[in-house]
Structure 1
Amino acid sequence: MLSLLSLKKTYSTNHHLFQIPKRLFVALSSTATSTQSIEVERIARIINDHPFPNQPLHPTLTRHIPSPLLTTAFVENVLGRLFAAHSNGLKALEFFKYSLNNQTHFSPSPDSFEKTLHILARMRYFDKAWDLMVEIGKTHPFLLTLKSMSIMLCKIAKFRSYEETLDAFEKMEKRVFVGRKFGVEEFNVLLRAFCTVRKLKEAKSVFIKMHERFPPNVKTMNILLLGFKESRDVTAMELFYHEMVKRGFKPSSSSYGIRIDAYCKKGYFADALRIFEEMEKANCLPTLETVTTLIHGAGVARNAMRARELFDEIPKRNLQADTGAYNALISSLVKCKEVKSAIQLMDEMEKNNIHYDDMTYHTMFLGLMKSGSIEGVCELYNKMVDRNFIPKTRTVVMLMKFFCVNSQIDLGLNFWGYLVGKGYCPHHHALDLLVTGLCSRGRSHEAFKCSKQSLERGIHVSEAVYRMLERFLLQSNMTDTLGELNQMIEKLQSVLPPSSGNYIHSPSSGPRCRFFKLTFVECSKRFEGREFG
Structure 2
Amino acid sequence: MGRSSSSLKLKLAPFSAPHFHIFRTILPFSSSSRSWYTPPPPHPPQHPPHHDILIKISELIAAAAAKSKPLSSSRTLNRLLPSLTPRHVIDLIALNPFSLHPLSLLSFFHFLPSHHPPFRHTLLTYTSMALSLSYHHLLPQAHSLLYLLVSRKGTNSAPQVFSSVVQAMRIIPAPHYSNHINDNAHLVFDVLVSAYVDSGFVYDAVTCLRLVKENGFGVPFRACGYLLDRMVKVEPIGSCWKLFWEVLDCGYPAKVYNFNVLMHGFCKIGDVGSANKVFDEIPKRGLRPSVVSFNTLIGGYCKVGCVEEGFRLKGVMEEEGISPDVFTFSTLIKGLCKDSRVDDAGILFAEMCKKGLVPNGVTFTTLIDGQCKYGKIDLALKNFQVMINQGIRPDLITYNALINGLCRIRDLKEAKKLVDEMSERDLKPDKITFTTLIDGYCKDGDMESALEIKERMIEGGIELDQVAFTALISGLCRDGRANDAEKMLREMLNAGFKPDDPTYGMIIDCFCKKGDVKMGFKLLKEMQSDEHIPGVVTYNVLLNGLCKQGQMKNAEMLLDAMRNLGVVPDDITFNTLLDGHSKHGSSDDFNIFSCEKGLVTDYASYAALVNESSKASKDRLRR
Q: Which has the larger radius of gyration?
A: 2
Q: TM-score, normalised by structure 1?
A: 0.48
Larger relative contact order (Cα-Cα within 8 Å, sequence gap ≥ 6):
1
